Structure 1
Amino acid sequence: MYFISTSSPDEYSTKVDRMIGENMDLTRDLEFWMSKLPACLRALPIIYLSIPGSHNSFTSNISGGSIVSLDSPKILQNLEWIYCIRHIMANWTKNQNVAVKEQLKAGIRYFDLRVSAKSRENNLYFCHGMYSCKVEPVLNEISTFLETHSKEVVILDFQHFYGFTQQTHGKLMQMLLKTYGTKLLPYSDHMDHLSLDYMTSQFSYQVITVYRSDAARFGQPLFWPSASFPTPWANTIDHNALFNFLDDKIKDRKDNVGFITQIVLTPTLTDILFNSCTTLEQKLAIDFEDLRTGWISKQTPGRRGVNIVIGDFIDLSDNLFTKTVINLNLKLLRDLPKRMTSPIN
């Protein structure tokens, strides 16, 4: 256990109040928010920080002209020649408005990824019902960002793979190794020593790659398994059911690994059919924004608290989602005696 060296409770309270007063807003520079965290927060394990992420991260360029991807039901793949079907699908499979560079500048540090092969083509694509952008250029953009943001860390979570063979997995893993090299944080079965300072000051680690496939389990020490970042999914459109589910799962989270809170609404096919003239953003996301922000604001990072929080359309209301998640870290300053790894000077 770590603590602040003080001679009295009043002195401790004064030091904490001063720190909070000096850092009332941790989002004044979203592009460098990790770099500019107070030193005591950069010394905390990242599994106890509050980190914003995007759900189905790279779907911003899905449109009615996109091709139906392999993760869609076979019947939709067969009917993709009907424009109205593609148009409806695009309206409900696009989860973000902004691409990787804008998300990074807006403070997003976790990316939720679905990857698909494509028939008669050598490239890999991000997808969500429809093919989105190519994988390799996006990975390169992230690498370029990290080169000029040496104190920032990203988490790449490869959740799903479609049309993959062992050879395809090998190709993607080699692409990741080539793109990030020594920036990749090696796997560890416990994470309570992995702070931002440990990663970026003691070493040059800036990328945690979660690879949720057994294809990466042997001979790939730089890829992290699913158990390192549990990501329970409520699969509901009901606000109260979602919040109750998230509350229950947070209470049960383990202390020595990361944790992903998916504050997302998931429509059924029936929901989409009954609302085919609108979009996921218009029907669900915009009306949900205030409720989402309110629930997040009540959370606390740390043990049995939130860690990574992901959402749809992270740019709404001038990046309010991202700002709310990041500023939860201010609550940790009140709990420094239990969580600090360096004293306040």
Structure 2
Amino acid sequence: MAMSTGEGKTEVTSYSDWMSQLAPELHDTPLYKLAIPGSHDSMSYDLDINSAIIEPDRLKSFSPILYIREIVRTAATTQDVTITQQLDAGVRYFDLRIARKTNDPEPNKFYFYHGLCTRTDVETVLRDINDWAEKHPKEILILALSHFKDFDNNIEELHQKLIESIKTVFGAKLCNKVSTQDPFPTLKSCWEKGKNVIVSYDYSANQEPELWPRITYYYGNSMDPATVESKLESDLHMRGPNAQDFFACGLNLTLPEDFWVFRYIFFDNPTNVLQRSLPRMLQWLKQQYSQTPYMNIVASDFVTRDDFVSTVVQLNGPTPKCVEA
């Protein structure tokens, strides 16, 4: 990792290998007890202007109108750097929502979506992630696949095809889900087994040993930061410190599903609202952690801004020391 020094202090300037830099006493800590930076709607930087509108439902009928698709793409773009750049920045959890494109000439291809489908297909992105994981064997990646839009026809066949693709791409890197008899994975146990990819698959009918069940994602379901903070505080309090599984705390804001969505799409760009809210949300996160010092995955929009990654990583303790390659 790169570093700069001044007055005897070390400043982290790259988090591409932050897990391997954590204090040794954290190497045996279950992964659900580590604070892990994540990205919300991780592939939204890649939305395809030629895709039909998938959400919100109120705008689906306007899909033929290019101007409306452009507005949806602007509103739905919650990440502005590629998946590889997110990995390099230190993000280790990815919110990956899967869909099939309407009237796709290749019906067995899968894409990501947020408002619109992505240009890049799922397998291509998974291979990019696998290539990165191969170069960073001590960084544990958590991929949360969910939603599966337009899987209504041949649903079991489509899920099986996607699962086989996941297993083929990642192979021996996949960390199997734990049973009641298994100890929860730690950094050390993953390193010893040479496994550094965990795939959460939110479809209970297709839970195979290589796949983990859905990871609970707490979010405020509001465009108001104060409402989001209050909802997250309530959820974290209800969860308590003794649960023993992964969970994600979403700092992201959420567009309304009623007619108020048009206010943000046409008058108050949601991207600007999101950017204005992140510094406040990070301050809330630090205060929350000082009061109830447990946190697992923390997900956000625009993950390379406002010291999001470093703020989350430092919840694990002192800033990890850097070692130059």
1:67-82 → structure 2 map (5 Å cutoff): 67-73=51-57, 76-82=59-65
Cα pair distance change 1:23/1:69, threshold 3 Å: farther
Q: Determine the structure 1 residue equivalent to 2:5.
A: none
Question: How far 1:77 moved relative to its partner?
Answer: 3.1
8 Å CA contact 2:53, 2:63 repeated in 1: no
Question: How far 1:268 moved relative to its partner?
Answer: 1.5
8 Å CA contact 2:56, 2:115 repeated in 1: yes
Cα pair distance change 1:194/1:241, threshold 3 Å: same
8 Å CA contact 1:48, 1:303 repeated in 2: no
Q: Determine the structure 1 residue equivalent to 2:4.
A: none
Q: Determine the structure 1 residue equivalent to 2:279.
A: 290
3-state DSSP of counterpart to 1:237: coil
2:242 is aligned with 1:251: no
Structure 2 residues without counterparts, runs of 5 or longer: 1-7, 321-325
Q: Determine the structure 2 residue equivalent to 1:337.
A: none
Task: Give the letter for the 1:234 counterpart.
Answer: G
Cα pair distance change 1:145/1:134, threshold 3 Å: same
Question: How far 1:69 moved relative to its partner?
Answer: 4.5
1:233-244 → structure 2 map (5 Å cutoff): 233-244=219-230
2:48 is aligned with 1:59: no
8 Å CA contact 1:300, 1:331 repeated in 2: no
Q: Determine the structure 1 residue equivalent to 2:198.
A: 208
Q: What do the CA deviations read for 1:245-275 (whole angstroms, capped 9, x no partner)?
A: 1112112325211111011111225444124
Question: How far 1:279 moved relative to its partner?
Answer: 2.9
Q: What do the CA deviations read for 1:265-314 (whole angstroms, capped 9, x no partner)?
A: 112254441241553211x1121022012012224399872100001111
8 Å CA contact 1:47, 1:192 repeated in 2: no
Alpha-carbon distance in 2 for matches of 1:146, 1:98 = 18
8 Å CA contact 1:50, 1:301 repeated in 2: no
- Structure 1 or 2, whichever has the larger Rg, is 1
2:197 is aligned with 1:197: no
Q: Determine the structure 1 residue equivalent to 2:115.
A: 129
Pick one of 263, 270, 275 that aligns with 1:274.
263
- Identity fraction in percent: 28
Alpha-carbon distance in 2 for matches of 1:302, 1:209 = 31
2:311 is aligned with 1:327: no
Alpha-carbon distance in 2 for matches of 1:235, 1:331 = 32
Cα pair distance change 1:152/1:112, threshold 3 Å: same
Q: Determine the structure 1 residue equivalent to 2:252.
A: 264
Alpha-carbon distance in 1 for matches of 2:89, 2:271 = 19
Alpha-carbon distance in 2 for matches of 1:40, 1:324 = 20
Task: Give the letter for the 2:36 counterpart.
Answer: I
3-state DSSP of counterpart to 2:112: strand
3-state DSSP of counterpart to 2:294: coil
Pick one of 9, 27, 31 that aligns with 2:16.
31
8 Å CA contact 1:69, 1:128 repeated in 2: no
Cα pair distance change 1:175/1:72, threshold 3 Å: farther
Structure 1 residues without counterparts, runs of 5 or longer: 1-21, 334-345
8 Å CA contact 1:192, 1:257 repeated in 2: no
Alpha-carbon distance in 2 for matches of 1:28, 1:329 = 17
Q: What do the CA deviations read for 1:7-30 (whole angstroms, capped 9, x no partner)?
A: xxxxxxxxxxxxxxx9976x4430
RMSD of the alignment, in Å? 2.4
Alpha-carbon distance in 1 for matches of 2:291, 2:74 = 36
8 Å CA contact 1:242, 1:265 repeated in 2: yes
8 Å CA contact 1:46, 1:195 repeated in 2: yes
- Which deviates more from structure 2 when the two are superposed, residues 81-90 or residues 245-254? 245-254
Q: Determine the structure 1 residue equivalent to 2:178.
A: 188
Pick one of 95, 99, 112 that aligns with 2:95.
112
Alpha-carbon distance in 2 for matches of 1:116, 1:328 = 34
8 Å CA contact 1:251, 1:305 repeated in 2: no
Output the TM-score relative to the length of structure 1. 0.81
Alpha-carbon distance in 2 for matches of 1:41, 1:29 = 20
Q: Determine the structure 2 residue equivalent to 1:14.
A: none
- Which deviates more from structure 2 when the two are superposed, residues 297-306 or residues 160-169? 297-306
Output the TM-score relative to the length of structure 2. 0.85
